[in-house]
Structure 1
């Protein structure tokens, strides 16, 4: 069914040439080991410099998130780095939530550490795979010639070599962004999501399922309008399903770029608000990176419709550097996820507006989370 749909789609005059070129470029690849030719000293230097810069910036969620935004500011026609920046901000907020006022009361220390390990590994892996691609694009632009044949030497999928080689000089930001979404989600599929330890300790835990059931896991794109904080965003459901993660990435991309005015406001907010990992970054009237109460005291509900109740203390949301130490990650597992050209059916991207009415839902979910904490106080 997917192939029939693709064949019909390929007949579209505006899409057929690019998709046919991609399909042709991928044909016959994906099942043989990479055996590249010997590199010149200059080529080895390029790869070495890219690896060194990536390693320096891959220290933690804060450095990664800033690197994505810096790259987007330098190359605004490249859409994916901005999307990666905003999603990575949310990853940082989720990491610090584990040490904040709410989730720290629902999860054990071991559970907190395992959840953090899960998120940090995915965040680290995506950066060490994607950022070298961005740097190689930058180097190609400087030299005026494509260098993407070097991607497999950095253990980057042949899928992305084909995509970059065909699209780097064309105005196809949409297709390139969707390809990067597909690549990164497939890249972490077996390395993180299907990892046996994470499956047992994170994906299949009651807490993880409860977060999905009650829609606690939001990806938020904050921005201000007349000094009032607003949000675009989506709820994360079925994180363990590859197709759902790719679909979510497409929705988030569409959401970020579907309205020029909102896009400018989101970028302005991101530039003017340094990412610290604390939710104080976007809601300082509710969250504080300093503990205002005593952590061992019973928790009492403090929120009502997105505001603190009268006399209530702010919710503790620590900065990431105080919540978690930097982690030394083992080298990424080797191997190319790409297998056959059927994957290009995932490149289908419909420019339909995505509903971004999320602020009320997010506020409601925070109150439900508070009630879960209060209930645990009563039971235990």
Structure 2
């Protein structure tokens, strides 16, 4: 292994940087096409996360009936007024949601705690792990590498997009979870209150069916569809985010920078003795990279595949549950990879800056060079102070029954430990820093 010695290294031309960016997706990660052929909804293992046809058809029909009964926009539907007791309940649920919606760390913890209370609601664990990954993307923006690649305005706008997505999904989904918990406590369904919480009419028949039949997979896929549809108009189609983040010449580079990456860390039953600082032997990562965040259909397929990987691929669930229940979420990548990342800020003299240049810390295999410092990955509360929540626009995304086609069995993606690919991706970031800034 090569030794580490600080030096700035030569800068490349912009064309060299662009070649790095163009080749990133296939070098950094196992290409999505090789694991999940387009349109397949997952592939390779031969396993399926099964949804029985009778369950699927029953829920689809209930959704159709609900949409037929409430023709037109949700605002035009006449709902019975809640009773005084129900009004007090709604106030409490909204306040509990507001308190937990302070930042990514609080949201992630709330999802995890709910899953531990109600493990039949699979979506809560999926949301917990995806929210963890979202926190890592947020703190990457305040780490050592991305501030050398993106200007301050792009960093701020990207954070706002990530934060709004995370907060809006939580604000819509968490009251649904709390209403299920209250229904369990009272021993009777309270899902007629979902419209009063601003939840799409798509979800009430799904929750009512889950109460009666307990089909976890159908509830999970429905929540994936609902939450991704919820943020499409409120976040993804926002003209500011489109113009400054999603449709810029650096959008391809953002995939290289792992902003659309979701990792599912896995913890063994008995962790081995602490490995050497540069070792990856104790780490296993599952996950995927989302190629096009703007594409609603792709995000729904992405969520379905993550769910199938988590709950139907052999051995993944137990290790992911163990990680979620053992390692508190701080937003720092040191949570799952302390051999490569540290949450401790570098000393001022060691802090990276454009004027100092960058010395590669990783060798060609993606391992830390001897003597090289770990990468700074701050805790979320150190990187981004809490800020007032933006209020989402009030409307129902569901205008017809088209989305019910997603309520079906899912092919289980092949398992692939992505730790090596992730570290090689980090090395590509180093090379990008050496090549020049990605400002436009």
Q: TM-score, normalised by structure 2?
A: 0.80
Matched, 1:149 2:192: yes
8 Å Cα contact 1:218/1:362 also seen in 2? no
Report deviation, 1:213. Answer: 6.0
Structure 1: distance between partners of 2:404 and 2:68: 11
Q: 1:339 to 1:107 in 2, by over 3 A?
A: same
8 Å Cα contact 2:311/2:317 also seen in 1? yes
- Name the structure 1 match of 2:88: 45
Per-residue CA deviations over 1:177-220 (Å, capped at 9, x if unaligned) read: 00000000000000000011111111112333212367664211
Report deviation, 1:370. Answer: 1.1
Matched, 1:279 2:322: no
- Equivalences for residues 251-290 of structure 1 within 5 A: 251-259=305-313, 261-290=315-344
Matched, 1:364 2:424: yes
Report deviation, 1:246. Answer: 0.2
Q: 1:143 to 1:14 in 2, by over 3 A?
A: closer
Structure 1 gap segments, 5+ residues each: 1-9
Q: TM-score, normalised by structure 1?
A: 0.92
- Equivalences for residues 203-352 of structure 1 within 5 A: 203-212=246-255, 217-225=260-268, 226-227=271-272, 228-259=282-313, 261-292=315-346, 293-296=350-353, 297-304=356-363, 305-352=365-412
RMSD: 2.1
- Equivalences for residues 8-19 of structure 1 within 5 A: 12-13=53-54, 15-19=56-60
Matched, 1:162 2:205: yes
Structure 2 gap segments, 5+ residues each: 1-50, 273-281
- Name the structure 1 match of 2:79: 36
Q: More helix per residue: 1 or 2?
A: 1
- Equivalences for residues 10-89 of structure 1 within 5 A: 12-13=53-54, 15-29=56-70, 31-32=72-73, 33-89=76-132
Moved more, 14-23 or 52-61: 14-23
Structure 1: distance between partners of 2:71 and 2:368: 54
Aligned residues: 370
Q: 1:14 to 1:161 in 2, by over 3 A?
A: closer
Structure 1: distance between partners of 2:149 and 2:257: 14
8 Å Cα contact 1:220/1:232 also seen in 2? yes
- Name the structure 2 match of 1:99: 142
Q: Which has the higher contact order (CA 8 A, sep 6+)?
A: 2
Moved more, 299-308 or 188-197: 299-308
